[in-house]
Chains A and B, each alone.
Chain A
């Protein structure tokens, strides 16, 4: 039983992939079949994930892998495989469960879309690619699935292909993540060059085990940083975060999938997966590469939560909150709290999917209005959405006790507090907690409280197929909080391979009070500021300059436009000019050379060779004309000629003798 699961873990991504291919081959009109297949495939993947998860519960620190040779070139065999350990199993559970909820929600949300079937094919494909990333036991296999995730996100962000903004966002997402992937790919090459293997675990010889790490030596730092480039691109970290808010152009379930279960989770997961590379040679848990991770994470988290404060698009606020939460996870990984980071990733997967689907429900009921200034007063109209959204908001803000996000955030704050290098990240993250509570409160007030505004006049509660996933996700995030408490840190122990133990005394910690105060402060200040929120943001009235800076995302997009994009454009224009004038000129010059040589030979042919042949033929023809004149056809002429000839011969004979 156990070995069967380990050797067949690949079925988990394969089932949604096959479902996706079957849906693609179906006619576009077979909507029920498409949705059914996608949900069924995801359900099978979930079932298998549960089996795999149960297997990893057998013993603390369970790890099983199955490697095989993909192909051989020359002496070297390229081996890939899959691995099943607590990290992979927890991610599998999260992705398949959240994915299933999103799939079901999409049935309601996309009900009126003409490309319903295509949407489900892409969703299945997206899920399959992400599951592939999670189970990969080889950096190469991970990279392949990683790029498939990128492709799927491109297809889904640009799903509404007739919208130019969606096409632009899809391109932006694809190209921006590709910039990070260049670094990732170089890292893979370097890793293979130095350690000779891309397998993570290979009975002691893998690149994450002592065998590979010792071969790698000091270059581990550079390899880790290059791999981190890929994670920065995928997980929307500064400075490559610009694509993530634009990815909101896709349908809302896609945003939920990208922001919760797949894509952005991939970057954090990658860092957690290759963590031994980052922490190799650590002194007091500090390495140069981990310090870079922490710095990037801190910048991202703070910047994104500040920007989120000044956005008016309901999905953009959530997008920036995702960016900031991912920054928080990176910080956690960087300071050594791997388990805390992954726990937050999993909790975040649930509550962010919940928030996005809630936002989708709001958008659906307000007839595709996304501006929170036009909403308001929706709490009585959409009670289920409101309640579940509030749970998601509590999670995101970090309210402890009943909300998974609260416990995991506290865990991260705890980890940052114990970092040896500096306490700055710790304090900055505490400020981040206040900001998160603040902007989520702002959003809640704008959307659900206050008076009804333009878009919420005809709003209604969403159908059950959309509210059920919300309820499931809300319940999941609350149930998850049970295994996250410091008193019984089951998930933490599970991820770090220890035996959990129960101790109520641990529940009460100083950090709990600190974060309680901070969250209360954030929400309280939020209530004070936004209680009477109008069309004009109170912050914009008080601090217009600051607000404009935040609203325009620190003008980073403009900065990139002026620098990187402008540079690329200038380079493109220059190469275009070079192409048109220099290279084309060269080619034309050579062409002219050939042409004039051709004219020369043509002339020689005309004037020299042809003239000789013409002369010969003219001569032959003239001779023929002369000779043919002799052949008069008159027999008597011939006879006379013979007679005269005879006579001449006779005379000659007589004369000579």
Chain B
């Protein structure tokens, strides 16, 4: 179990999340993709902490826990937005939600 394996997994996870966020048209899938990218970032925090010089102090894991909490809040806001948008436009297809077009 080395750091590089963890980083590779994390990078893979990020790429999968990015791919999901970019390729899917449904807003909820995009949110899921974003959550995946966040998870990759959290994994990186924990991995770098585990293989750091002071693994006894729970610094990295604390950041990850905070990040997860914030991500939860963000997901709640995101889902609420999606529901509001759906109620208004009767769709969740982001291609059609181009009202902010310049």
The interface residues of chain A lying within 8 Å CB-to-CB of B54 are none
In chain B, what residue has the closest Cβ to A635?
B94
> Assuming the A-B contacts A639-B22, A640-B22, are A633 and B98 also in contact, with contact meaning beta carbons closer than 8 angstroms in the complex?
yes
Q: Judge whether B21 and A632 touch: CB under 8 Å.
A: no
The interface residues of chain B lying within 8 Å CB-to-CB of A629 are 102
How would residues 626 to 641 of chain A score, 1 for a CB under 8 Å from any chain B CB and 0 otherwise?
Answer: 0111111111100110
The interface residues of chain B lying within 8 Å CB-to-CB of A639 are 21-22
A643 to B95, CA, bound (A): 18
How big is chain B's contact interface, by range?
A: 10 to 19
A634 partner, pick from B18, B21, B98, beta carbons under 8 A = B98
Q: Judge whether A636 and B94 touch: CB under 8 Å.
A: yes
The interface residues of chain A lying within 8 Å CB-to-CB of B101 are 631-634
B18 partner, pick from A627, A635, A643, beta carbons under 8 A = A643
In chain B, what residue has the closest Cβ to A647?
B18
A636 to B94, CA, bound (A): 8
Q: Judge whether A631 and B21 touch: CB under 8 Å.
A: no
B84 within 8 A of A: no
How would residues 70 to 102 of chain B score, 1 for a CB under 8 Å from any chain A CB and 0 otherwise?
Answer: 000000000000000000000000110111111
CB distance from A645 to the nearest CB of B (A): 13
B30 within 8 A of A: yes
A643 to B33, CA, bound (A): 13
The interface residues of chain A lying within 8 Å CB-to-CB of B100 are 631, 633
The interface residues of chain A lying within 8 Å CB-to-CB of B25 are 636
The interface residues of chain A lying within 8 Å CB-to-CB of B97 are 633, 635
CB distance from B74 to the nearest CB of A (A): 15
Main secondary structure of the interface of A (DSSP, over half): helix
How would residues 589 to 631 of chain A score, 1 for a CB under 8 Å from any chain B CB and 0 otherwise?
Answer: 0000000000000000000000000000000000000011111
Instruction: For the complex, count residues of A whose C-beta is within 8 A of B.
Output: 13
A643 partner, pick from B22, B30, B98, beta carbons under 8 A = B22
> Assuming the A-B contacts A635-B94, A636-B94, are A627 and B102 also in contact, with contact meaning beta carbons closer than 8 angstroms in the complex?
yes
The interface residues of chain B lying within 8 Å CB-to-CB of A640 are 22
A636 to B96, CA, bound (A): 11
In chain B, what residue has the closest Cβ to A643?
B18
A639 to B17, CA, bound (A): 12
CB distance from B14 to the nearest CB of A (A): 10
The interface residues of chain B lying within 8 Å CB-to-CB of A643 are 18, 22
The interface residues of chain B lying within 8 Å CB-to-CB of A630 are 102
CB distance from A620 to the nearest CB of B (A): 15
The interface residues of chain A lying within 8 Å CB-to-CB of B99 are 633
The interface residues of chain A lying within 8 Å CB-to-CB of B22 are 636, 639-640, 643
The interface residues of chain A lying within 8 Å CB-to-CB of B95 are 634, 636
A632 to B94, CA, bound (A): 12
A629 to B102, CA, bound (A): 6
A345 to B91, CA, bound (A): 120
How would residues 18 to 58 of chain B score, 1 for a CB under 8 Å from any chain A CB and 0 otherwise?
Answer: 10011001000010000000000000000000000000000
CB distance from B15 to the nearest CB of A (A): 10
In chain B, what residue has the closest Cβ to A625?
B102
In chain A, what residue has the closest Cβ to B23?
A636
CB distance from A242 to the nearest CB of B (A): 95
In chain A, what residue has the closest Cβ to B33?
A639
CB distance from A225 to the nearest CB of B (A): 99
A634 to B102, CA, bound (A): 10
In chain B, what residue has the closest Cβ to A640?
B22
In chain B, what residue has the closest Cβ to A632?
B101
CB distance from A556 to the nearest CB of B (A): 99
The interface residues of chain B lying within 8 Å CB-to-CB of A634 are 94-95, 98, 101
How would residues 465 to 501 of chain A score, 1 for a CB under 8 Å from any chain B CB and 0 otherwise?
Answer: 0000000000000000000000000000000000000
CB distance from A628 to the nearest CB of B (A): 4
A31 to B70, CA, bound (A): 108
The residue among A629, A632, A633 with the most chain B CB atoms within 10 A of its own CB is A633
A634 to B95, CA, bound (A): 6
A220 to B99, CA, bound (A): 105
Q: Judge whether B102 and A631 touch: CB under 8 Å.
A: yes
A435 to B98, CA, bound (A): 122
CB distance from A649 to the nearest CB of B (A): 15
A11 to B21, CA, bound (A): 114
CB distance from B26 to the nearest CB of A (A): 11
- A-B contact list, 10 entries, CB within 8 Å: A628-B102, A631-B101, A632-B98, A633-B100, A633-B102, A634-B94, A634-B95, A634-B98, A635-B30, A635-B97
A→B interface (CB under 8 Å): 627-636, 639-640, 643
Given contacts A634-B94, A639-B22, 14 further A-B contacts (CB under 8 A): A627-B102, A628-B102, A630-B102, A631-B100, A631-B102, A633-B98, A633-B101, A634-B95, A634-B101, A635-B94, A636-B21, A636-B25, A639-B21, A643-B18
**CB-CB nearest 10 A-B residue pairs:** A631-B102, A633-B98, A633-B101, A628-B102, A633-B100, A635-B94, A640-B22, A636-B22, A632-B101, A634-B98
